[in-house]
A and B are shown apart, each in its own frame.
Chain A
């Protein structure tokens, strides 16, 4: 090696403190130490690098990684007893290092396995030779809920059942790698691997830059090329089908859609039309011929699959059957995940290829056969006994079906009885002792069990293996704590080459703060709807905050709550009887939460910063509501909230790409602001409006300065109307917003056919013209109310035309 930093051997002095507590258990393989107790060569430079950092240095680096993950908004959803909550991504800061040689063996073993699985699944949905020749028991397939009958005999449009799969692999005490489970339906984690990598490379920036660690981007690039090739039409987007924001890994779906330039859709966004799968978009129905499916197959179609599913698209199976859409992976490919399959794959490999699998899976016995049953019973202390049809990975099962203690605690007879009566539903699997890898704990390294998740993508030139990126690490020194839901963590995995590695740069990670919108042309209607209402709710919250501030401003200036003006604000603008600051705060807390809910549904379309800015406001509001505040504090506190909210609006109008999606959000803001201003002005123009209402309107419209600058005199009804309704230069006026709205609507698709305006465009033009021809004298409350009705009609038409 020419690297001058490379030392000839372990440096006992430097690394001593770091490794003093690092003691792998006997009989367990370790990633850092080889079987002779020496540091594996691939780790040497890294450990030395780590040992040169002092405690503060390490703390700062780890913080940098955490900060990145927070800024990027990486989260997963943890399902609790009552509610599912968003959790920070549990990154273990120390990567797992594997040598190129070791990796090459794993990768080629997995490619071989992937090819075998493809043949097996093609047979299960095709000829059924494996069954006929006795390599698989028929009942294991016939009674398998993951074997989807409507897909039998259907050839996948992409030519393959498997296009993107993952394997969970672990290292046994012998040093040999084993496959723990196959993920062939809709595996998750690849997007998180990218985030692991970015965060970890920020923790060790200098080391990572000079170490020969294989990069991940090339893998995604190749996968994407594979998908693109299956499209019918060059202009078509590739859709990524997600179960939606309540899914535990929705973040990843949104992230990958952005990263790979795909259209993030839910089942509701799709429809079957004239024999094709189409996405409901603001441009109307647009065909989709490639679907990267991250929704479990069973839920994809309530007509032919699980009839209770509300996440699917009725008719999807029918389109697949007709070969009109390539589903990645094919619907039904999840049957390979069945635990009992592991019992038969070794023999199937020999039967189909004449060779045993180079990378074996953990030894598994199906207890529906008497010899196997007897073996499991005789060796039950070394077995996990669990459901034959389970598709979860071992160590990952809630409820403990895979933990042998559960069954054993009921006594040996119970196990024997269960195996005898329910043997067909059970498998025994040899308990695998996973290897350990270093994690950072209380200032030094400590060994924890780990398994790798390895992703494979089919590309135009064959399978491609993602080089590293994702390992699961147990919370305690106990393999059953490896599940993230059980507190386990995730590490980056570095595959270290002996020489320089290629550094693909074509795809760069999405930059927080800038909303990428690479598919502006096909904004799904549901996304448009959420963006539109996000805009409306934010604006509604702002309006309520201003009224709230005005109300408490009056009270803290000594005006009694029962006086005319405060009563006017309460009943007309806040529509609330109570003058309690906490109760009244609901008037902006509710719309704010509704705005956040809209935002959470379209994470792929609004910037992380935008969502964080909104969350900040919501947090501040929550504080305000939780701790009762004095009336004098209410107005200044709202001032702070308003400034925070302006931060969001600023991001929207300064930072967001001028996509169709942005137009809908901006249109939502304008509609809300214009109609609210009509309400305010109409009410203030009524004969019974109290004294001081004119100044109040200027305050609510944030136009005190503008008015002074233009009129140099106290407000009159006419000057007020001029500045807040008819001044096209005032961003608070009705006309300003109708002009902005018109600008947006003119830019929307389908507003004009030949020479005829669409109903939306016609209504827009009418409303704008009706206001533009008015003067301050002629615009009376009745006209303002009529205008407001027109704006509401416009909103309905927008919804009907684009958001359904």
Chain B
């Protein structure tokens, strides 16, 4: 599939900021064999006084924008044309959890893909016994390796939790969303990540885009009108990282475009900012991800 993606992040400040420092992670990733960025354009208005990009620890493309002059709003726009190929269907070759632990221990690397980063608590995914218990109960009767366990967990969450775009904000703690059984993709993902880690299954957070309008005859997916989030779990040395969308109870094919990987939202948030002499005001996000009609 070929998509045209457009993202607009706009921030209006409460008052005039005399300066601002922002860090963004919004450009789609290039993932060999799966996702190719044909072209991309990232811009900022007002024009930043300083701008440069770097690759962060997890390999994500990050861009900083520094504004030194007074301004009262900022708009970041990202446009990209991305080619998506469906991953090959895989048989379940995932080990059980005891075997998984051994395979993890055999990885003696701290590369950005190493499972070790994604096992312990992280800033937005603390250890919670309620979630550990939930996870144990769900997988108690699941047959097979950790892959079906991961899917069973996601399905259970999708069933128990209600998607509600107004129920939580980016600052709502994961556990609160779980207790109230509602939230958005960020909450679904954090909760599943916490559940997986409690079982000793390495799990990471994926931010990205979701196709805006479904192919004919399919339902519109939740979370398509803003940047989306899903998860990725390490299913043993053979299978590696497998992605899954708990908000829509969906395996990942060609409807999802990856932007960034991290331990949780705090590693990949689309935009982080610090303002001088002004408070954060309101922000809005607009996303379009449209399949490109091929020329005949």
| Whole-angstrom CA separation of A139 from B272 in the bound complex | 28
Contact with B along A282-317 (1 / 0, CB 8 A): 000000000000000000001110110000001100
- Contact, CB under 8 Å: A131 / B50: no
> Is residue B57 contacting chain A, with contact meaning CB distance below 8 A?
yes
Task: For B21, give its contact among A128, A131, A143, A314 (CB under 8 Å).
Answer: A314
Q: Does B219 contact A (CB under 8 A)?
A: no
* Interface hits, A682-696 → B, CB 8 Å: none
CA distance A273 to B119 in the complex (A): 37
Asked if A142 and B119 make an inter-chain contact with CB atoms under 8 angstroms apart, the answer reads: yes
Cβ-defined contact, A303 with B274, below 8 A = yes
B266 touches A (CB below 8 Å): yes
In the assembled complex, which residues on chain A have CB atoms less than 8 Å from the CB atom of B213? none
Binary contact readout A307-333 vs B (1 if CB under 8 angstroms, 0 otherwise): 100000011001001000000000000
Contact in complex: B21, A139 (CB < 8 Å): no
Q: A150-B57, A315-B21 are in contact. Are A138 and B114 (CB under 8 A)?
A: yes
Q: Does A611 lie at the interface of the complex (its beta carbon under 8 Å from any beta carbon of B)?
A: no
Q: How far is the CA of A307 from the CA of B107 in the complex (A)?
A: 30
Q: Are the C-beta atoms of B108 and A132 separated by less than 8 Å?
A: yes
User: Is B56 among interface residues, defined by CB-CB distance under 8 A?
Assistant: yes
Cα A149 to Cα B54 with chains together (Å): 14
Q: Which residues of A contact B108 (CB under 8 A)?
A: 131-134, 138
Size band of the B side of the interface? Answer: 20 to 34
CA of A138 to CA of B112 in the docked complex: distance in angstroms? 12
Are B272 and A271 in contact, CB atoms less than 8 angstroms apart? no
Return the chain A residue nearest B57 by Cβ. Answer: A149
> Is A150 a contact partner of B266 (Cβ separation < 8 A)?
no
Verify B266–A307 contact, CB threshold 8 A: yes
Knowing A142-B117, A274-B50 are in contact, say whether A315-B110 is a contact too (CB < 8 A): no
Write out the residue numbers on chain B whose beta carbons fall within 8 Å of the beta carbon of A272.
21, 50, 66
- CB of A40 closer than 8 Å to a CB of B: no
Q: Which residues of B contact A141 (CB under 8 A)?
A: 110, 116
Residues A142 and B23 in contact, CB atoms below 8 Å apart? no
A residues 239-276 in Cβ contact with B at 8 Å: 271-275
Residue of B nearest to A147 (CB): B110
Instruction: Decide if A142 touches B57 in the complex (CB within 8 Å).
Output: no
Contact B50 A142 (CB under 8 A): no
Q: How far is the CA of A374 from the CA of B112 in the complex (A)?
A: 33
Q: Decide if A740 is an interface residue (CB 8 Å cutoff).
A: no
Return the CB mask of B211-240 against A: 1 if under 8 Å, else 0. Answer: 000000000000000000000000000000
> In the complex, which residues of chain B have a beta carbon less than 8 angstroms from the beta carbon of A763?
none
Distance to closest chain A CB from B136 (angstroms):
13
A514 to nearest B CB, angstroms? 35
Residues of B within 8 A of A138 (CB): 107-110, 114, 116
- Measured between beta carbons, the chain A residues less than 8 angstroms from B120 are 139, 142-143
Tell which of B50, B56, B116, B119 touches A150, judged by Cβ atoms closer than 8 Å. B56
CB within 8 Å for A131 and B110 given contacts A303-B272, A307-B272, A321-B54: yes
Instruction: Kindly identify, within residues 108 to 162 of chain B, every residue whose CB is under 8 Å from any CB belonging to chain A.
Output: 108-110, 114, 116-117, 119-121, 123
> Looking across the interface, which residue of chain A has its beta carbon closest to that of B58?
A149
At the interface, yes or no: A231 with Cβ under 8 Å from chain B? no
Which residue of A has the minimal Cβ distance to B55?
A: A153
Q: Which residues of chain B are within 8 angstroms of A273 by Cβ–Cβ distance?
A: 50, 66, 68
B contact residues around A785 at 8 Å (CB): none
CB pair B21–A303 under 8 Å, yes or no, is: yes
How many angstroms from the CA of A376 to the CA of B21 in the assembled complex? 49
Neighbouring B residues of A142 by C-beta, 8 Å: 110, 114, 116-117, 119-120
Q: When chains A and B are docked, how far (Å) is the Cα of A113 from the Cα of B266?
A: 36
CA of A724 to CA of B178, assembled, Å = 71
Task: Give the contacting residue for A128; candidates B110, B272, B274; CB below 8 A.
Answer: B110
Q: Which of A97-136 contact B (CB under 8 A)?
A: 128, 131-134
In the bound complex, residues from chain B placing their C-beta under 8 Å from that of A271 are 19
Given contacts A272-B21, A302-B274, A314-B274, contact A139 B64 (CB under 8 A): no
Minimum-distance CB pairs A-B, first 7: A143-B120, A142-B116, A149-B57, A314-B21, A314-B274, A138-B116, A303-B23
B-side residues, CB < 8 A to A, are 18-19, 21-23, 50, 54, 56-58, 64, 66, 68, 107-110, 114, 116-117, 119-121, 123, 266, 272-274, 277
Q: A271-B19, A306-B123 are in contact. List 9 more A-B contacts (CB 8 A).
A: A128-B110, A131-B110, A142-B120, A152-B110, A302-B272, A303-B22, A303-B272, A303-B273, A315-B21
A–B pairs, 18, beta carbons within 8 Å: A128-B109, A131-B108, A132-B109, A138-B107, A138-B108, A139-B120, A142-B117, A143-B116, A150-B57, A273-B66, A273-B68, A274-B50, A303-B21, A303-B22, A303-B274, A314-B274, A318-B54, A804-B18
* Chain A positions near chain B (C-beta within 8 angstroms): 128, 131-134, 138-139, 141-143, 149-150, 152, 271-275, 302-304, 306-307, 314-315, 318, 321, 804
